[in-house]
Structure 1
Amino acid sequence: MATLDRPLSSGVCALTIILYTSLLNGPQTVKGLSQSDVEHHCMRPCDWPSKPRTCRYEFTVEWSYSMSKACFKCPFNVTDCYRPHCLALDGAPRAVAVVNKQFPGPSIQVCEHDQLSVQVNNYLVNAEGVTIHWHGLHQRGTPYMDGTSQVTQCNIPTRSSFTYEFLADTPGTHWWHSHTGMQRSDGVFGPLIIKQAAPDDPHSGLYDYDLPEHVVVVHDWFHEVTVNRFAGHHLSTLSGSPDSILVNGRGQSIEYTMSDSNQTYKTPREVFHVDLGKRYRFRTISNAILDCPIEVSLDKHNLTVIASDGSPFEPVQVARYVIYGGERFDFVLTADRAVGRYWMRFKGLGLCSGVQGLAMVVYNNVEGEEDLASEDYPGIAPEGILLNPFNLPASETVMTVDQLTAIEKQAESLENNDRTFYIAMDFGNITNPNYNHPDYYPVGLKPGHFVYTSQLNFVAFVPPGSPPLTQLADIPEFELCSFESTEAKRDHCKEAYCECTHYLEVDLGEVVELVLVDEGIPFEGSHPMHLHGYSFQVVAMGKIGDSTTVEEVKRLDQAGGINRNFVKAPRKDTVIIPDGGYTVVRFAADNPGWWLFHCHLQFHSDVGMAIVLHVGKDQDLPPKPKDFPRCGNWYPHGNETDKPPPSQMPCSALRSTSSMSYVFMALNSCMVVAVTRLGCASFWC
């Protein structure tokens, strides 16, 4: 059950003071994990048979600052960089959004079947709302806990709290992050690991240790608050590339000079410890914000990759693998090389080309200082397979994710599907009125001020004023547009900007196939597509060329040119679509609700690369939690009949623009609302 409460009672305040004192006085026993994380009773080896626990957490979301007074003499005294509340990051001072004054936020590590309860307190001083999405958890029976702003719930208002309660029933490597605004980009994220007892884990015999400190969160990072870079990139000439890549919130970018000795110092990098001859499970998570595929390797070591997005597959030994925003990959590291120190490299690709994150793997037996390859050295990973490449076709040395072989307890046959949807994605070469004006500064008027618009099926997604999961009746009908209705307007929307609350409707129980096409026409990019509420089978993937069209892929498919694999196809919830190619996924729509499907790159999704999957009817949903919060538009007198006529209502239906006017079309075939520079006018058929 969800509750909207006062964030802190006096009893909790007293407890907070006690915990605060202990944090100041007590050491941090594991780098990357706070004392409270390490001591949480749910972070434990999992029992067989299962002995579920109730795992309670409290998240306080607020603004902090990197390299603040909490860091004392960091980086001159490296010990100070590990002080409680010190956010050293890569040494660049900037405002940072945090949970419990940690970056990344608290690491939730529980066992399968545990019950989670997380009270989220919003203390952001700028009065932003907050929601937390539990990325990778399907929320079966608890769709109200998905944490998708304005789709499954209202934002948690400032100085308020909301308690998420759900079952840890999706084992594997997952994570949590804000699903409101750009808070994820500024620091509101952290790991969510659901472990299994050894008899339930098909790979338990491949490793000796699965340690809490071997969770690896990587992401690109700005030296300024993200909204400034977002606005400056879309409205001016600021770069869309990151300043650095962080590993568990650590990196090196800024040099500090000691005034008396002129010696330079940098903030510490992340360090992982291993013992010679032992095997370790590492869990990697990408919180990529930009078009930033990250290639992972470890000098002189092969990696045995065993799972992705929580789903196990037959082990694959690789030299390198690429992880995209929202994805997770688990690998086993066998510590069988010469005792020493080795770089774990996180090489940026795409817009991150030229940027590299580094962490150090240290054999505990090493004594003294050992020579280490230069940070700028391209890497000395052994030759072998590259898994999950960035815009490369499959080959003898390149393995795409559709070639993986799933390990399923009970194989689910999806060979016969009920519905197939072809979804095009790309950057539209159109005048987006949010960032261009057709008269004052249209697209192409001034070199360097042009920004493409990322869309699905040539339509930009606009979140509604109220969440459709619980308040569908409160959303004006003309704000919503179905997949079928936008299909009819496709040719028009290719030429003019279109936006709406875009949704795709399927019946409960249908087997759904999505043929995802990255047309790749303006330039080479990547789109890691994430589906809430489900994992799917990746049954086909292919790169046709530097560019393609959804029509070309349809013709290829109809001619039998796309071969689908229905035998142990790998299961994921976030997947890449090759630029100039396609990815085909299938799943059984057996989880009713309103589930967002979107590109997991912050800039792409915020511009509109998303659609909502509506599964089932209201009567298929579980009961709504008591006193579940409401939000949305308000009209005087609180009477439905007092709503203004369409000519006076917000013009946010399927909106399209030309160089001379904005035209808003309601796709119910009965009403068209035209908006010119003079205002709104409604026309009824």
Structure 2
Amino acid sequence: MGEINGSSLCLLVFFFTASYLCQANRYPDYTKHPCARRCVVGERPRTCEYDFIQEYYFVLTKACYDCPFNATDCYRPHCVSGNGVRRAIMTVNRMLPGPAIHVCHNDTIVVNAKNRMEGEEGTAIHWHGIFHHDSQIMDGVSMLTQCPIPAYTSFQYRFKAENTGTHFWHSHAGSQRANGVFGSLVVHQPDSTNPHAALYQHDLPEHTIVVHDWLKTLAMNKFEGHYLAGYSDEPHSMLINGYFESVHLTRDTGDSSIRALMNQCQCVFCLQLGESTSLEEVKALDAAGGISRKLSGAVAKDTVTVPDGGYTVIRFVADNPGFGFLHCHVKFHLSLGMGLIIQVGKPHEMPKPPNNWPKCGDWKYPREDKNNEREGKGNGGEGKATGKDGGEKKSDVETEKQKKSPLTNEAHGVAITKALTSIVFLVTLMIL
């Protein structure tokens, strides 16, 4: 091995640093996003764009170095420690929870969702708590408001942050949310219009706490084991902001705020009855005046708790034309069919999708194509189509192959990353 002089060493460090930065920029955490700002009255709304790269990942990868034995290593970029049990997971930008979105009221949120999951699994991102007036097709419910995003393709969400508050986003396809595809979404407002502003001095993104349950294995293993083999369906542990640790909250000087996303479960009105409750019992109780109603100033919630053996009364104004999904937010219950579709308005009253909106559904071989195929085989030939002049007609596939399309920005990025990797490899060989 030859000696490495100072110039060669500097060159080597430069290329490795460039490669590292390319990798870091590929999976941004958006903690310094320009839209995460203090909201001001009269400020022009901004367009806030994010890249969400969804892929299979793993707990305690090489990015974690000596975690959990060295606690500091657990906070390295791209390190997901979970509860310390090594298992396959799904992440967005190699984070758990995924990137937090912090915007101001009426900002436009643009998310480029890129599906990089192996196994040809589709996905969709739901923006839990956002009203989506005039953008209902951006609600992100797979097979209802959109087709699943196929593997190795992308889909761009674009909608207005029209209602303030602490919300969250999560996958609405399969069991991906339970496997790690979720994060916080907070729509801020100026202190002068915030009714809770006097309760704290600072409203900072780092004050958001996400509490969620966690399994030792992929959610489908747990689901199938419970319903087909009688195993427990209870979670193994709880995580706070992706970490298996406790958080001590105090109320001393009142100089901070805490935004808690604890599965968004709070009761509006609920009554515990017994092991089961029939519709007739609820109607009889209501007729006897046993169910109170708050018809003005009621609490607005996007998720409420239905107690075991009881019921919950909900009420909403159907003022948003489109298709909505009312369902249990316990993942295994939803998988068993605890959900229904609510249609508000007629199809012509619903927002029109953009041009070239993806379509999905069943497909069956057309009858006429089957007949043409049989005729072609009967003639002993390959059944080639002919044009009006009797010549051979080119297929659509051949025509499409002849078309040339420019590289997208994403393709350019991949090409640049590959080129840098090749350069680093060649320089290393030259030095050695």
> Scaled by the length of structure 2, what TM-score is found?
0.77
**What letter matches 1:127 in structure 2?**
E
Question: Which residue number in structure 2 is paired with residue 246 of structure 1?
Answer: 239
In the alignment, the residues of structure 2 paired with residue 596 and residue 545 of structure 1 have an alpha-carbon distance, to the nearest angstrom, of 28
1:55 corresponds to which of 48, 53, 58: 48
Q: Is the counterpart of residue 115 in structure 1 residue 108 in structure 2?
A: yes
Q: Is the counterpart of residue 583 in structure 1 residue 312 in structure 2?
A: yes
How many Å apart are 1:603 and its aligned residue? 0.1
The answer (yes or no) to whether the contact 1:23–1:35 under 8 Å persists in 2 is no
How many Å apart are 1:22 and its aligned residue? 7.2
Question: Which residue number in structure 1 is paired with residue 396 of structure 2?
Answer: none
Question: Which residue number in structure 1 is paired with residue 21 of structure 2?
Answer: 21
Deviation digits for residues 598-655 of structure 1, max 9, x if unmatched? 0000000011000010010011112211111001111222889x9xxxxxxxxxxxxx
In the alignment, the residues of structure 2 paired with residue 22 and residue 79 of structure 1 have an alpha-carbon distance, to the nearest angstrom, of 24
How many Å apart are 1:64 and its aligned residue? 0.9
Q: Is the counterpart of residue 557 in structure 1 residue 286 in structure 2?
A: yes
1:544 corresponds to which of 253, 268, 273: 273
Residue 164 to residue 76, structure 1, CA distance change in 2 (3 Å): same
**SS across alignment from 1:184:** coil
In the alignment, the residues of structure 2 paired with residue 45 and residue 20 of structure 1 have an alpha-carbon distance, to the nearest angstrom, of 32
**What letter matches 1:279 in structure 2?**
D
Question: Which residue number in structure 2 is paired with residue 593 of structure 1?
Answer: 322
2:118 corresponds to which of 125, 134, 159: 125
Question: Which residue number in structure 1 is paired with residue 6 of structure 2?
Answer: none
In the alignment, the residues of structure 2 paired with residue 20 and residue 140 of structure 1 have an alpha-carbon distance, to the nearest angstrom, of 41
**SS across alignment from 2:109:** strand
The answer (yes or no) to whether the contact 2:98–2:181 under 8 Å persists in 1 is yes
Question: Which residue number in structure 1 is paired with residue 255 of structure 2?
Answer: 279
**SS across alignment from 2:315:** strand
Deviation digits for residues 82-135 of structure 1, max 9, x if unmatched? 111111111110011000111110000110110011000000011100100000
1:98 corresponds to which of 91, 95, 109: 91
Residue 104 to residue 612, structure 1, CA distance change in 2 (3 Å): same
Residue 243 to residue 142, structure 1, CA distance change in 2 (3 Å): same
How many Å apart are 1:69 and its aligned residue? 1.3
Deviation digits for residues 403-453 of structure 1, max 9, x if unmatched? xxxxxxxxxxxxxxxxxxxxxxxxxxxxxxxxxxxxxxxxxxxxxxxxxxx
In the alignment, the residues of structure 2 paired with residue 232 and residue 183 of structure 1 have an alpha-carbon distance, to the nearest angstrom, of 17
Deviation digits for residues 533-580 of structure 1, max 9, x if unmatched? xxxxxxx53233443211111122223332212132211111112333
The answer (yes or no) to whether the contact 1:248–1:270 under 8 Å persists in 2 is no
In the alignment, the residues of structure 1 paired with residue 288 and residue 251 of structure 2 have an alpha-carbon distance, to the nearest angstrom, of 55
Residue 582 to residue 24, structure 1, CA distance change in 2 (3 Å): closer
Q: Is the counterpart of residue 213 in structure 1 residue 202 in structure 2?
A: no
In the alignment, the residues of structure 2 paired with residue 274 and residue 546 of structure 1 have an alpha-carbon distance, to the nearest angstrom, of 38
Percent identity for Structure 1 against Structure 2? 44
How many Å apart are 1:41 and its aligned residue? 0.4
**What letter matches 1:239 in structure 2?**
S
Q: Is the counterpart of residue 136 in structure 1 residue 135 in structure 2?
A: no
In the alignment, the residues of structure 1 paired with residue 286 and residue 20 of structure 2 have an alpha-carbon distance, to the nearest angstrom, of 60
Matched pairs, number: 353
Question: Which residue number in structure 1 is paired with residue 356 of structure 2?
Answer: 627
In the alignment, the residues of structure 2 paired with residue 236 and residue 563 of structure 1 have an alpha-carbon distance, to the nearest angstrom, of 43
- Give unmatched runs, 5+ long, in structure 1: 1-16, 26-33, 252-268, 287-324, 328-387, 389-400, 403-539, 643-685
Residue 102 to residue 553, structure 1, CA distance change in 2 (3 Å): same
In the alignment, the residues of structure 1 paired with residue 228 and residue 275 of structure 2 have an alpha-carbon distance, to the nearest angstrom, of 28
1:157 corresponds to which of 150, 166, 169: 150
The answer (yes or no) to whether the contact 2:89–2:179 under 8 Å persists in 1 is yes
Q: Is the counterpart of residue 204 in structure 1 residue 197 in structure 2?
A: yes
In the alignment, the residues of structure 2 paired with residue 638 and residue 55 of structure 1 have an alpha-carbon distance, to the nearest angstrom, of 48
- In proportion to residue count, which structure has more helix? 2
Question: Which residue number in structure 2 is paired with residue 226 of structure 1?
Answer: 219
Question: Which residue number in structure 2 is paired with residue 465 of structure 1?
Answer: none
Please show how residues 74-473 of structure 1 align to structure 2 within 5 Å. 74-251=67-244, 269=245, 277-286=253-262, 325-327=263-265, 401-402=267-268
- In proportion to residue count, which structure has more strand? 1
The answer (yes or no) to whether the contact 1:592–1:620 under 8 Å persists in 2 is yes
The answer (yes or no) to whether the contact 2:199–2:254 under 8 Å persists in 1 is no
Residue 559 to residue 122, structure 1, CA distance change in 2 (3 Å): same
Residue 639 to residue 104, structure 1, CA distance change in 2 (3 Å): farther
In the alignment, the residues of structure 2 paired with residue 19 and residue 542 of structure 1 have an alpha-carbon distance, to the nearest angstrom, of 59
**What letter matches 1:171 in structure 2?**
T
Residue 563 to residue 67, structure 1, CA distance change in 2 (3 Å): same
Residue 283 to residue 52, structure 1, CA distance change in 2 (3 Å): same
The answer (yes or no) to whether the contact 2:277–2:311 under 8 Å persists in 1 is no
- Give unmatched runs, 5+ long, in structure 2: 1-16, 372-432
**SS across alignment from 1:242:** coil
1:65 corresponds to which of 29, 42, 58: 58
- Name the stretch that deviates more: 118-127 or 71-80: 71-80
Residue 58 to residue 274, structure 1, CA distance change in 2 (3 Å): farther
In the alignment, the residues of structure 2 paired with residue 566 and residue 596 of structure 1 have an alpha-carbon distance, to the nearest angstrom, of 24
The answer (yes or no) to whether the contact 2:125–2:140 under 8 Å persists in 1 is yes
Residue 223 to residue 541, structure 1, CA distance change in 2 (3 Å): closer
In the alignment, the residues of structure 2 paired with residue 600 and residue 612 of structure 1 have an alpha-carbon distance, to the nearest angstrom, of 14
In the alignment, the residues of structure 2 paired with residue 36 and residue 97 of structure 1 have an alpha-carbon distance, to the nearest angstrom, of 16
Question: Which residue number in structure 1 is paired with residue 334 of structure 2?
Answer: 605
The answer (yes or no) to whether the contact 1:139–1:167 under 8 Å persists in 2 is yes
Residue 558 to residue 120, structure 1, CA distance change in 2 (3 Å): same
In the alignment, the residues of structure 2 paired with residue 603 and residue 43 of structure 1 have an alpha-carbon distance, to the nearest angstrom, of 34
| Structure ranking higher on relative contact order (CA contacts 8 Å, 6+ apart) | 2
**SS across alignment from 1:574:** coil
Question: Which residue number in structure 2 is paired with residue 679 of structure 1?
Answer: none
The answer (yes or no) to whether the contact 2:98–2:182 under 8 Å persists in 1 is yes
The answer (yes or no) to whether the contact 1:171–1:195 under 8 Å persists in 2 is yes
**SS across alignment from 1:39:** coil
Larger Rg: 2
